[in-house]
A and B are shown apart, each in its own frame.
Chain A
Amino acid sequence: MESFEINVGPTPATTSGPLHLRVQTDGHRVVQAKIEAGYLHRGMEKVAERMTWLSCQPYMGRIDYVSAIHCEHAYALAVEKLCGFEIPERSKAIRVVVSELSRIASHLLSIAWLARTTNASTAVMFALRDREKICDLFEILCGARLTYNYVRIGGVSNDFTEGFVDKTIEFIDYIVPKLQEYHQLLTNNVFFIGRLAGVGVVSASQAIAAGLSGPNLRASGVKLDKRKQEDYEIYRKIDFSTPLGATSADSFRGAVQGDAFNRYFVRIQEIEQSAVIIRQVLANVPEGKYALTLPRVFKVPAGEIYVSVESPRGTQGIFIRSTGEKYPDRLRLRTPSFPVLNILPAVLESSTLEDMGPLVASFDYLPSEVDR
């Protein structure tokens, strides 16, 4: 069979957004993969420089629309630190709850994409069905289903609405046993393990060198979690673990540390941990105000700061420089999907055409936050 150059994308089935891969093949084998990113470039960082500190906030949700809370959160934290605000305890608890709900939603979508690339269409439907329930919860809370603009500078936009807490607990009681269904359909499925085990192996040193973070890094065995490492909100007070994927005790035939199966498995384990966190926080939400009152003309003192939070895809960092004006002087984002592009060509070059879909999807790559 002659060598082909195959265009995968610009809208492939592997990612929820445009990613263009030019793949040089030799039969089934991928010889070379060139990545073309930037189809979703909107100039977010430059746009932010023309906005006031407060009107900049809604744009943050658009950077990572799958888990909009986390980018909003990082921005709010950065501005608060620069201003030296101490936000109410209640708003911290609320932020943790919505962050973890958003994390579950994002991981469910990631599992749906991964299942879709392996053609497990029933699992796709199940994951989307469960994610819809979280969208419903957010609709009760803030009226929006995708880009919330809920986390604001100084707190959150509104307190828990009526019925939100009960429905969230109901959802947590529902999703944790429901994970067994995913284990039956995917995790313990011989074909599914066969498709992912040993595919796209990224060693710990490779992952660190490329700058991977979050579940992708933890699947390679590096225990790095910003929720534990950085002291933000009330994560220090919560008892939860950082999953590292399948251990040798689990019998997933052929699965090795850092492969596509472990990246999937870390995510499904993290859903359980997020449920643990939400349960703990909701059991003891402090009373008080849900936000600070900000002045009408809001200015941030001169200075610069870098803050990062743990988003579902990894470290969501934000750098802000202020000159004391109404506008940010410079805003720069460190998005967790970007480092995936460092490692992707190298990983793809040792794979085959049929592994390419699950491989790319296993990184949970989101073009919107790379191109921004």
Chain B
Amino acid sequence: MSTILLSEISPFSAFLMSFTDGSTLSTQIFFLIFGFLLFLASFLVPAFFAINYLDRKICGDIQMRIGPNLAGPHGIFQGVADFIKSFEKIRTESQATSGGFFFVTISMAIAFLVFAAINVPVSSQWLYSNVDLSALFVVVALVVSRLFLFWSAYKTANAWSTVSAFNMLSVIGYFLVPLTLALVSPALLVGSLDLQNIALAQGGMPWEWMVFNGPGSFFSFASFAVALFIWHGRAPSNLFFESTSVKSEVISEFEGRRYFVLKQIEVFSLFLAAALIVTVYLGAWRAPFSLESFGRAANIVEACIFFTKTMFVTFVMIWFRWSMPSARLKQISNLSWYLLLPAGFAGVAITLLWLAVSRGEGVRWWL
């Protein structure tokens, strides 16, 4: 009875607890916390360091530079080195950024990103949080995270930060509608807005992925991918994380380790965007072969499949970022209103027609 309760809160913790015999309340609470820490340690931290490294190395390759090459073999520990270095920085706190207010807002901005991340299913059992409508929850958590970031930038009273913060709000506003609209097609096809259910409704082979499930899905996929790409705040939409241009960033008033932590939001968002695209449209963790013989180890195979796909999408995003200049806010808003919004509506309309014709069986029915 009590184990069932834990699996409703957190399938990943329940999965961990199934290795032991205990099922008391204290064991459950222990596994709830342990599961969370393990999830962070096994899923988010390696992904974060991997993307941090890949971003620099791929950027170096594109720009015909060497890139990081000193910390560890081929510089793979550069992210770790930067993390340690950030603690060495002298804390020169300005009047604008002192006080507990910023600790709260920054912590909340990061906490909501983590809330979003723990809702992404890595494998059949490897899902920390079991919230209903998790696809919508992730979108809302991302928005709330950015709102806290906006708040802290606005409170610093730096003119550049304020302008960048309003840019950030604008971009979120422009792309919120196309993004949620792009979730309607999967919801119609699967009958659920739960990320794990969406993952389970897809197959391992590419033609079983959501993106090929009917002609409407492709429009929705394009809309979803572009909106998330713009939302995570790198070129061409780096209107709020923009250290190299004349404009500065939302976080330009923060220094040392706070700057380092806030700067990682950009990397974190990149990873989340890629993970969401993979989960909703590109087959999630589904393996193209049978995993029955693997037993519980099947989770590891599924997680590897998920990470491979996510890293590929991340690579495409990194590639795009280093080949593109940044766009103007007007160009970004035009992209949303004139291209993504019609594409989103077209996706929903075509999916509805498709469902009416094919009774929701997609390409498989047609074949």
Contacts and interface: CB of A to CB of B under 8 A. Distances in A.
Given A13-B244, A354-B328, 7 more contacts: A25-B159, A118-B245, A121-B59, A185-B323, A186-B325, A195-B325, A357-B247
A22 to B, nearest CB: 12
Interface residues of A, number: 36
B324 A191 contact: yes
A121 B327 contact: no
A191 B246 contact: no
B244 to A, nearest CB: 6
Interface of A: 1, 4-6, 8, 12-14, 25, 28, 115-123, 125-126, 129, 185-186, 189, 191-192, 194-195, 352-357, 360
Nearest to A356: B246
A122 B246 contact: no
Contacts of B166: 1
A353 B329 CA distance: 11
18 contacts: A13-B245, A28-B163, A28-B329, A119-B238, A119-B242, A119-B244, A119-B325, A121-B59, A186-B325, A189-B324, A194-B331, A195-B326, A195-B327, A195-B328, A352-B328, A353-B247, A355-B328, A357-B246
Most buried by A among B64, B159, B160, B239: B159
Contacts of A8: 246
Contacts of A12: 246
Interface of A is mostly: helix
B62 A122 contact: yes
A322 B327 CA distance: 54
A261 B246 CA distance: 18
Interface string B235-264: 110110010111100000000000000000
B63 A191 contact: no
B65 interface: yes
Most buried by B among A1, A4, A120, A121: A121
B77 interface: no
A355 B239 CA distance: 12
A266 to B, nearest CB: 19
A4 B245 contact: no
A354 to B, nearest CB: 5
B48 interface: no
B325 A118 contact: yes
A201 B163 CA distance: 25
A121 B244 CA distance: 8
B244 A353 contact: no
A191 B326 contact: yes
B323 A122 contact: yes
Given A13-B244, A354-B247, A121 B322 contact: yes
Nearest first, the 6 A-B pairs at minimum CB distance are: A357-B246, A120-B325, A119-B326, A118-B325, A125-B63, A4-B159
A3 B59 CA distance: 38
